[in-house]
Structure 1
């Protein structure tokens, strides 16, 4: 395990502390005020690694996250909201979107609200499903110490499709690395449509105007407005009051199991933020930039489909059919280094 500039073996660490929670702690909590009241969470704090909150009642998504005391995740003007207040029709998703490091979209639809034999709201329901069978453990891998949090959510309709997702979140002491692994299984008796997205949200001060993105893929075009004149598509902009949302689709062209996106300071050799996922399962990267003053967010979103809604995705061949018993696994790894200034 690395602590500062020094490395320690497992044997040394176990001699130096009376309780591993001194270095890698998990603490349950519940919000007590406002629209988040009653929502359960787990606060994880790891030496030399991430500090972050797992929002158990929001599908085990990740809210606040920081590295070395510096905030990494973006927080919406609304902030955390308990699932009881979620809005599932039209674009109501945006009214209770708290931001945070990770909001998952799916499991049966993502993208714009649409009608496909039923009314489908923006980005689906998984982010408002409370987790169950939640557990956590400390796990040594040689001299490296991880905390692993696990649990499941179920999306179903009486007599209709049923999808069950098992999530494992793994964070390492001594390294600012966070890994999410999800397995989605059709546990019902009928075929289930399936779409999925990792909506990762980043903000100031970790992401700053002038930062440069390397998306490692072929640009598939802008939705809505093109970048302002003179601005490069891959540069983080200075916020302005009249700025509009920009959405860029990137068709990743990496080898079968590698998709990456990085952000670095202009002129810096090494990135300070890296996302990695499996291109095979999430072939589209959605880049969401909203450089409006008092909004100022960068979204990097590995996805199975674009944003036009399920009927349009089906026409493009982007809707996955999971037959009873079928499973599909997704992974996302986030690496963030504070020493980037």
Structure 2
């Protein structure tokens, strides 16, 4: 039985209290009607626990705004929500439509800085987040005493004479839950081997992010991406006030996993509502790297927690080192992530213990 508002109610008891389940938990499709997102699809989801988030089918089924108990968890950029037609594939043009949000998918054939490889030019973080999903379905139903909410769809990155890579995504949660589950299947639907680079750009912002906050993660190795980032290495897990002129600091980590092969990272704020954290859990076998984007600027005040299936480019170096992910025709990989909200000192202590249990 789900716990809702401090009560453990059987489905019949809960349904006796409401005219529709939407009163406490649901998923409602809508269309943006103003500004640069006009005409773009969205799906608002709420679970009754205080967790609310928006899925963006026309942006790779990514997750935009996310709140818990009215407090923002995700950073939202100055661009706001932007429809995919505004995508600029050249250089750093991706930043003109980078709305932030809880999860932005980077890939499916490239992520990281702009690059050239094999006669092709690659813009920042690839095309994935500009691709609209097809066969989108919203499912709301009781199952075994649980009220389940799920959104499914398929995203296709394709080009004539080149690769076709398909992402099938399911986002799920349930009544009373503080968890969001993402399950992805990435398939090479073409007829030649294709690269398959994947990074989950998870963007955490104020008030979860504050000078009191810290990044909780266990890793076996960490490498600053730039000389500037190296100057902040000792304090990379500590946050600060929004700072004028702050230069971004990016790190590549090799995270440790627990006995089940799961890695965890969390942003913990002990001063927010008696202690609040958001954690990310993922299988190391599928995503053996974790990127940290620490940006403590004014307006751009955000911590990026970014599991990935390979290090940052250059692509030529990835090929040379044997770290470029690729899929043969018909081959697929499965990736799952769980994002959880933790509340109160007891849950934060349990989270710290779970992260500390990672040994390999």
TM superposition score normalised by structure 1: 0.94
Q: Distance in 1 between matches of 2:270 and 2:27?
A: 36
Q: 2:238 pairs with 235, 257, 272, which one?
A: 235
Following superposition, the deviation at residue 16 of structure 1 comes to 2.6
Which residue of 1 is the match for residue 293 of structure 2? 288
Aligned 8 A contact 1:10 1:142 in 2: no
Which residue of 1 is the match for residue 38 of structure 2? 37
Residue correspondence of structure 1 range 270-281 to structure 2 within 5 A: 272-281=277-286
Which residue of 2 is the match for residue 142 of structure 1? 144
Q: Distance in 2 between matches of 1:162 and 1:249?
A: 28
Q: 2:263 pairs with 259, 262, 273, which one?
A: 259
Q: Distance in 1 between matches of 2:253 and 2:233?
A: 21
- The answer to which structure has the higher helix fraction is 2
Aligned 8 A contact 1:68 1:338 in 2: no
Which residue of 1 is the match for residue 186 of structure 2? 184
Q: Distance in 2 between matches of 1:24 and 1:235?
A: 36
Following superposition, the deviation at residue 335 of structure 1 comes to 0.4
Residue correspondence of structure 1 range 318-329 to structure 2 within 5 A: 318-329=323-334
Q: Which moved more, 1:42-51 or 1:197-206?
A: 42-51
Aligned length, in residue pairs: 341
Aligned 8 A contact 1:144 1:173 in 2: yes
Which residue of 1 is the match for residue 158 of structure 2? 156
Aligned 8 A contact 2:208 2:276 in 1: no
Cα displacement string for residues 50-85 of structure 1 (whole angstroms, at most 9, x for unaligned residues):
211111111111111101111111001111111110
Following superposition, the deviation at residue 28 of structure 1 comes to 1.7
Q: Which moved more, 1:52-61 or 1:303-312?
A: 303-312
Q: Distance in 1 between matches of 2:309 and 2:261?
A: 14
Identify unmatched segments of 5+ residues in structure 2.
349-360
Which residue of 1 is the match for residue 99 of structure 2? 98
Which residue of 2 is the match for residue 310 of structure 1? 315
Following superposition, the deviation at residue 338 of structure 1 comes to 5.2
Following superposition, the deviation at residue 12 of structure 1 comes to 2.2
Following superposition, the deviation at residue 271 of structure 1 comes to 6.0
